[in-house]
Chain A
Amino acid sequence: MIEVYKLTKRFGTKTVLRGLDFDVRAGEFVALLGPNGAGKTTFLRVLASLSRPTFGEVTVAGHKLPAESAQVRARLGVVSHLPLLYADLSAEENLQFFARLYAVSSLQSRITEVLELVGLDTRRKDLVRNFSRGMTQRLSIGRAILHDPQVILFDEPYTGLDQDASEMLDDVLRTVAKQGRTVVMTSHDLARAEDLATRFDVLSRGVIAASATRDSFGGGNLLSFYKQALAG
């Protein structure tokens, strides 16, 4: 579903990604781990077609970037620590707006379905500016899955959430993943990543330093795997 070959990304003289290879099969839930500055967000922005590769090949859902970026964007949902929503619109108006941009058919019924999934159907008329951080993040997920994407990218979705909101987000993420979508999530929260993901990749100094599936991992200690990957 995602194929990345020798991806390099430079900003001026600074090289953030250094010939990175990455491959994700359909339906996998990959936790992309790594320290601050490892290049996780840059990598996700390249996958999301928000940033062009300097070198290398990137294919998402069968379409090459950047040449077929519109086709990729139609098959992709993105959730970041920023809400990508409009504070002066209600939850329903936000989803209506994005549904129009994605040409979602049966707009109203799909919005109702999504609001029920993220547990905001009773707050549909409320302005986003009155939402808590957790509710805003759940609505962000609603926005990202509105057009039924094959691939969803989560960039630090737990940033700024309290314990209750994080647990609620866990439930939404599990539901989204169970629907057979391919998920790539960056996170600093190893326990949460271990709980949700089926594969763990450690990004360090611009390359994938280590990769292990839940099965190959054998229920071992993710923290020691992570530390070994960074040390190696």
Chain B
Amino acid sequence: MLTPSLLRATLAIVRKDLSAELRSRELLSAMLVFSLLVILIFNFTLDLDPVTRKDVTAGVLWSTFAFAGTLGLNRSMAVEKDRGSLDGLLLAPIDRSAIFFGKAISNLAFMLIVEAIVLPVYAVLYNENLFQPGLLLVILLGSVGYAAVGTLLASMAVHARTRDVLLPILLFPVILPVLLAAVKASNAFLADAPLAEIMPSLNILIGYDVIFIALSYMFFDEIVDE
């Protein structure tokens, strides 16, 4: 009997998730509409002058990504649970870390797609140049951390009846260091701060990503086990 490698199993799960989502567009459309609404609400409720708006751009963007990301994380695991598909994955003779990596990469892809649409909309609406390589790097690192931690916690919360409420309660305290570092680094890039000032935040993001991916690889099997 053959068993697929970790990479092949991971890619199969990513391919399945992307195919299903491209067909249904349930998750992406919900995340996107929600993100755009959040940006508009922030704009109207804060009613800021251009200078102050520049100062809060990073905070608004990361709040938007965080809330929209939670929507996606909840839905992506609920789809597996509701039709018993999670058992289908757990029954496969694969390294169960492949389930984590597959779901995390899919969630990351959905977040990045939403971010790729939200950023230009924000830039046009608020006349802000957001297409700076440094800022895009921060968004990538922050999203990797968010998807890794979020997928891990969503896998834990999915068995609970109150999973929709439980996930944000579990996730936001754990993800806070990523959000704070991402906001700080994004602000610094938008203000053209020197690299030495930005590096501590970037190091936190990189360290957080590496630690949580490693922890998930080590413990995911235990987490999804009954």
Q: Per-residue CB proximity of A41-79 to B under 8 Å, as 1/0? A: 000010011111000000000000000001101111010
A interface SS class: loop
* CB within 8 Å for A74 and B93 given contacts A84-B87, A85-B85: yes
Q: Which A residues are in CB contact (< 8 Å) with B89?
A: 101
Q: Does B94 sit at the interface, judged by CB under 8 A?
A: yes
User: Which of B19, B92, B95 contacts A102 (CB under 8 A)?
Assistant: B92
User: Which of B3, B19, B226 contacts A89 (CB under 8 A)?
Assistant: B19
Could you give 28 example pairs across A and B, Cβ below 8 Å? Answer: A50-B87, A52-B225, A70-B3, A70-B94, A73-B92, A74-B3, A74-B93, A78-B91, A80-B84, A82-B83, A82-B87, A84-B83, A84-B87, A85-B83, A86-B16, A86-B20, A88-B23, A93-B16, A97-B12, A97-B15, A98-B88, A101-B94, A102-B93, A103-B4, A103-B8, A105-B2, A143-B88, A147-B1
Bound CA span A22–B95, Å: 29
Q: Does B9 sit at the interface, judged by CB under 8 A?
A: yes
Decide if B4 touches A87 in the complex (CB within 8 Å). Answer: no
Q: Which B residues are in CB contact (< 8 Å) with A100?
A: 4, 8-9, 12
User: Which of B23, B83, B92 contacts A101 (CB under 8 A)?
Assistant: B92
Q: Does A83 sit at the interface, judged by CB under 8 A?
A: yes
Decide if A103 touches B3 in the complex (CB within 8 Å). Answer: yes
* CB within 8 Å for A71 and B20 given contacts A83-B83, A100-B8: no
Q: Does B24 sit at the interface, judged by CB under 8 A?
A: yes
The number of residues on chain A lying at the interface, defined by a beta carbon within 8 Å of a beta carbon of chain B, is 33
Q: Which B residues are in CB contact (< 8 Å) with A76?
A: 91
Decide if A52 touches B91 in the complex (CB within 8 Å). Answer: no
Residue of A nearest to B5 (CB): A103
Bound CA span A52–B221, Å: 12
Q: Which B residues are in CB contact (< 8 Å) with A48?
A: 91
Bound CA span A143–B90, Å: 14
Spell out B's residues near A (CB within 8 Å): 1-4, 8-9, 12, 15-16, 19-21, 23-24, 79, 83-85, 87-95, 225-226
Decide if B87 touches A80 in the complex (CB within 8 Å). Answer: yes
- Most A-side CB within 10 Å, residue of B3, B90, B92, B94: B92
Q: Which B residues are in CB contact (< 8 Å) with A50?
A: 87, 90-91, 226
Q: Per-residue CB proximity of A87-124 to B under 8 Å, as 1/0? A: 11100010001101111010000000000000000000
Decide if B1 touches A75 in the complex (CB within 8 Å). Answer: yes
Bound CA span A93–B12, Å: 11
Decide if B91 touches A71 in the complex (CB within 8 Å). Answer: no
Q: Which of A168-200 contact B (CB under 8 A)?
A: none
B interface SS class: helix
User: Which of B12, B83, B90, B94 contacts A86 (CB under 8 A)?
Assistant: B83
Decide if A83 touches B84 in the complex (CB within 8 Å). Answer: yes
* CB within 8 Å for A87 and B83 given contacts A97-B16, A103-B3: yes
Contacts A80-B84, A101-B12 aside, 15 further interface pairs with beta carbons under 8 A come to A45-B226, A49-B91, A74-B1, A80-B87, A83-B83, A86-B20, A86-B83, A88-B19, A89-B20, A89-B23, A93-B16, A101-B93, A101-B94, A127-B23, A143-B88
Decide if B4 touches A101 in the complex (CB within 8 Å). Answer: yes
Q: Which B residues are in CB contact (< 8 Å) with A127?
A: 23
Decide if A71 touches B226 in the complex (CB within 8 Å). Answer: no
Decide if B19 touches A101 in the complex (CB within 8 Å). Answer: no
Cβ of A222 to closest chain B Cβ, rounded Å:
29
User: Which of B16, B79, B85, B226 contacts A51 (CB under 8 A)?
Assistant: B226
Bound CA span A103–B98, Å: 14
Decide if B84 touches A84 in the complex (CB within 8 Å). Answer: yes
Decide if A86 touches B92 in the complex (CB within 8 Å). Answer: no
Q: Which B residues are in CB contact (< 8 Å) with A105?
A: 2
Bound CA span A167–B189, Å: 67
Q: Which B residues are in CB contact (< 8 Å) with A45?
A: 226
Bound CA span A84–B7, Å: 22
Cβ of B112 to closest chain A Cβ, rounded Å:
21
